[in-house]
Structure 1
Amino acid sequence: MGAEALPRNDEIAAAAVSSHPLILGLQPAALVDHVAPVDWSLLDQIPGDRGGSMPVAIEELDHILEAVKAHKLASPDELSPMKTMAGGSVANTIRGLSAGFGVSCGIIGACGDDEQGKLFVSNMSFSRVNLSRLRMKQGHTAQCICMVDELANRTMRPCLSSAVKIQADELTKEDFKGSKWLVLRYAIFNLDVIQAAIRIAKQEGLLVSLDLASFEMVRNFRSSLQQLLESGDIDLCFANEDEAMELLRGEQTSDPEAAVEFLAKHCKWAVVTLGANGCIARHGKEIVRVPAIGEAKATDATGAGDLFAGGFLYGLIKGLSLEECCKAGACSGGSVIRALGGEVTPENWQWMYKQMQIKGLPLPDNRN
C-alpha cells in the first residue's frame, strides 16, 4: 500500500511539538460515559435494540441510570462496578492515539460548564490531547449510559438533546490549519457541522476519516450517508459488520466483502471490522483479511472500533502496509476490550505493545 499524501516521520516529530495537532477529531458535543456491567433482565426492560445506540431524553437517561445502579453486576477486577470517563467515539480514538501511540492530537467541539464538562476536560488533558479548539459553553455536557452484558457486548443510550455543542458557523480555518487528518463520526443531528468541517478541512488539505457510528444511524439515515460518501471527500471509512449490512440492505449481496467493495468505490481506504473474526480492508485493488488478536479476553466491547481506528491511523501515519495497518488496529482494539470503558488502562497499553512487537510492528516512541 502506498502512503500518498501522508506526512513523513520528520513531519510527525514537528507536529508533536507544535500547536497544530497531526490528527484532529470533531466531536461537536463533549460526552461523558457511565459504563457498568448489567444482567440480561435489565436490558430486556430498556426500549430499543440490544447492542445498539439509541438517543434518549434526559428524564429517560436518569431513569436508566437509576435502574443500572440497582441492577449493576460487580466487576471482578474493579473496586467500583461503574466507571465514569470522557466518552464518545471520536474522543476514544483521539485519546487512544495520544495516550497510547504518542500521536499529536486535538479535539474540536464544545462542553458544558458543569461537572461532566470538567471531567471531560480533565480526562482528555491527562491523555495530552490538545483542547485549545474545545469551546466551553453555559449548559449541560452530553452523557451516555453504556451497559455491558455477560458476553461483553455493550448497549448504549446517549442523551444529546439538551447538551451544548459547537455550531457549524463557529468553525474556522484556524481550527484545521497545519493538521493532516480529520476524524469524524456520522450523525444526522450533526450533519451541518460535519459538512462544514469537511469543507474547511479539504480547503486546508486534510485527509478525512469517517466512522459509520451505529447500525441504527445507517438504517434510519442511509440516503444522507450515501451522499456524504459519494461526495468523494471521505478518504478513509470504518464500518463494523452490522453497519455494513445496513449500508447494503436490499442489495443482492450484503456480505462484508461487498460492503468493503462498495466503500472502496468512494474512499481511498475502506475497512469493515468483524469483531472476533478480525477485519477486511481495501486500498485501491489490494484487499486484505486480518484476524483479531486471539489473546484478548473480552470484558467490554465499548471502544473496540474506536481504538481499532486509532491503531489503523497510526499505521497510515507510519507509512505501513494495508495489512500492517489492520494488525496495528487489531492490537489497539484488542487492548481496550480487556477492561470496562473506552479508555485503555496503562497495563493494557503494555499488553498492546507486546502484541505489536510479536507482530513485527513499529512501536510508538512514547511507550514506557
Structure 2
Amino acid sequence: MTLPRFDALCIGNAICDVFAHVEEDFLVAENLIKGSMRLIDTEEAVRLYAKMGQTTRISGGSAGNTAAGIAQLGGASAYFGKIAEDELGTAYRHDMTGTGVAFDTPALTDGPPTARSMILITPDGERTMNTYLGACVELSPDDIDADQVAASAITYMEGYLWDPPGAKEAFLKAAEIAHAHKRKVSLTLSDSFCVDRYRSEFLGMMRDGTIDVLFANEHELKALYETADLDTAIDSVRKDCALTALTMGENGAMAIGRENTVHVAAEKVEDVVDLTGAGDLFAAGFLLGLSRDYDHAMSAELGCLCAAEVIRHVGARPERSLRQVAEQQGFAL
C-alpha cells in the first residue's frame, strides 16, 4: 500500500457562514429554538438576513472547517463540496485553497446559488443556525475524484450531507474506493435531527463496516440509540463501530474502541465566545492524530486542543496558528 498524500479527505456541504451576535429576545421573537439547525428557503434567507444587523462572513460548512483545521495544523487535506459559479462560490474556493486545502470540485454553472448559513450567537456562546443549502445539494458521484480518495488516509463525511440522494451516492462511492485502497472511512453524525432522519442508515453503515470511525457528541449518540442514558449508548456503539470519537463539551472527550475506552479532559477556556466549529475542529485534530498513528488518547487530546482554540472567538476557523498552539503543548507535527 502506498503512503497517503493526504491525511484526510473531507466531504461536505460547501456553505458560507454569516455570523451575528443577538440577544435571547431575538430568538424568541423569531420563534427559533436555541442551539438548533433548520433549513430555510431563499425567501426566508433574505428576510432573516435583513434582520441580523452587523455580520461577519467566513467560508465554512462542517467538513470544510475540518479540512481547513487539518491544513492549519500542518497536515495535508482535500475537500469535496459543491459551490456555484458566482461571487460567493469564488470567494469560498479562494478561502479554502488559501488555507492550503486541495479543493478542485467543479463549480455548478446552471442551478441554485452557493449555499450560506446564518448563525445567530447568543451571549452564552450558543449558536442557532439557519441554513440555505443552495448549490451544495448538487454534489454527485461525478464529483468524486477517485485518485484523491485513494491518496487519502481517511475519507470523512458530515451527516448534514446525507439528505440529497446524489450526495449519499457520492459518499458511498468514495467509501468503496477508500476501502479498496485499504484506507479508513469516517462519518460525523452532525446533528440529532440528522440522526432522527437517518438512524437506520447510519447504524447500517456502522454495522456493515462502511464506517470505520464515527464522530458524535453525547446528544447525538444518545439519539442514535434512542436512550437518555449515555453509558447505554456507549456500550451499544462499542459493539457497532470499531472506533468512536465522542465529544462531551467541558467534560472532555472519549475514544471508544471495541475493547478499550480512553477519556481525556477538556482544555480550560476562561471566556467562551462562540461554540461554532468546536466539533469540526475536534475532528480535525483527531483525524490528523489517527493519520499520523497517534494513540487514541493523544488524538483526542489534540482534538480537544483545537476545539478549545476555536471557541475563544467568533467563527469556526482559528485565529491563531493551530500548528503553533499544538507544538507549544508538546505535539510534534
TM-score normalised according to structure 1 size: 0.83
Task: Name the amino acid aligned to 2:18.
Answer: H
Check if 1:337 corresponds to 2:311: yes
Measure how far apart 1:267 and its partner are: 2.1
2:141 is matched with: 168
User: Which structure 2 residue ranges, 5 or more long, are not aligned?
Assistant: none
In 2, distance between residues paired with 1:60 and 1:162?
17
- Paired residues in the alignment total 327
Q: Contact 1:141–1:164 (CA<8 Å) still a contact in 2?
A: no
Task: Name the amino acid aligned to 2:75.
Answer: V
Q: What's the secondary structure of 1:184's corresponding residue?
A: strand
1:77 is matched with: none
Indicate which of 110, 113, 128 corresponds to 2:85: 113
2:168 is matched with: 191
Task: Name the amino acid aligned to 2:180.
Answer: Q
Indicate which of 15, 26, 32 corresponds to 1:42: 26
In 2, distance between residues paired with 1:351 and 1:153?
24
1:313 is matched with: 287
Task: Name the amino acid aligned to 1:279.
Answer: A
Indicate which of 149, 155, 159 corresponds to 2:122: 149
Indicate which of 224, 248, 260 corresponds to 2:201: 224
Q: What's the secondary structure of 2:312's corresponding residue?
A: coil
Check if 1:327 corresponds to 2:301: yes
Check if 1:137 corresponds to 2:108: yes
In 2, distance between residues paired with 1:232 and 1:49?
35
RMSD: 2.1
2:155 is matched with: 182
Q: What's the secondary structure of 2:101's corresponding residue?
A: coil
Task: Name the amino acid aligned to 2:106.
Answer: R
Check if 1:292 corresponds to 2:292: no
TM-score normalised according to structure 2 size: 0.91
CA gap 1:120/1:269 in 2 versus in 1, 3 angstroms: same
Q: Contact 1:283–1:322 (CA<8 Å) still a contact in 2?
A: no
In 2, distance between residues paired with 1:157 and 1:192?
25
Q: What's the secondary structure of 1:191's corresponding residue?
A: helix
CA gap 1:205/1:48 in 2 versus in 1, 3 angstroms: farther
Check if 1:104 corresponds to 2:76: yes
In 2, distance between residues paired with 1:30 and 1:293?
29
CA gap 1:21/1:217 in 2 versus in 1, 3 angstroms: same
Check if 1:261 corresponds to 2:232: no
Q: What's the secondary structure of 1:346's corresponding residue?
A: coil
In 1, distance between residues paired with 2:281 and 2:291?
15
Q: Contact 2:251–2:265 (CA<8 Å) still a contact in 1?
A: yes
In 2, distance between residues paired with 1:82 and 1:161?
20
Task: Name the amino acid aligned to 2:6.
Answer: P
In 2, distance between residues paired with 1:41 and 1:348?
35
Worse-superposed segment, 121-130 or 186-195: 186-195
Indicate which of 245, 251, 254 corresponds to 2:222: 245
Q: What's the secondary structure of 2:27's corresponding residue?
A: helix
Worse-superposed segment, 119-128 or 226-235: 226-235
Q: What's the secondary structure of 1:111's corresponding residue?
A: coil
Check if 1:23 corresponds to 2:8: yes
Task: Name the amino acid aligned to 2:300.
Answer: C
Identity %: 25
Task: Name the amino acid aligned to 1:218.
Answer: V
CA gap 1:24/1:348 in 2 versus in 1, 3 angstroms: closer
In 2, distance between residues paired with 1:348 and 1:227?
35
User: Which structure 1 residue ranges, 5 or more long, are not aligned?
Assistant: 70-80
In 1, distance between residues paired with 2:21 and 2:28?
14
